[in-house]
Amino acid sequence: MKSLVVIGIILLGLGALLFYLNDMAIDLRVIYGALSGIGIGLIIGGLVGYVSKGNAVKEAHLRQEFKQLQKEKAELEKQRLESANNGNL
């Protein structure tokens, strides 16, 4: 995701640089607009992807932690039942 943002910034900068350096001798406004548009799109896409990946990682960590807690609870209940059975004998 970070590489998308970097490429987007490079394309946006390249479009702006070409626009200001060319003095409009050749009408290349479409190319400037395309470079800038692709750059902005990659920046926004990279940021959205980075945020959604972060949320997915947090959610997966919470699920894993919940499963671990369930496993520990089951082990504790098993130990409690075994100690209760041993105490009755």
Q: What is the pLDDT of residue 27?
A: 67
Judge contact between 6 and 40, C-beta under 8 A. no
Least confident range from 8-17, 18-27, 42-51: namely 18-27
Q: Where are the domains of the chain?
A: 2-88
Q: What is the pLDDT of residue 51?
A: 82
Percent of the chain's residues with pLDDT above 90: 22
Q: What is the pLDDT of residue 45?
A: 81
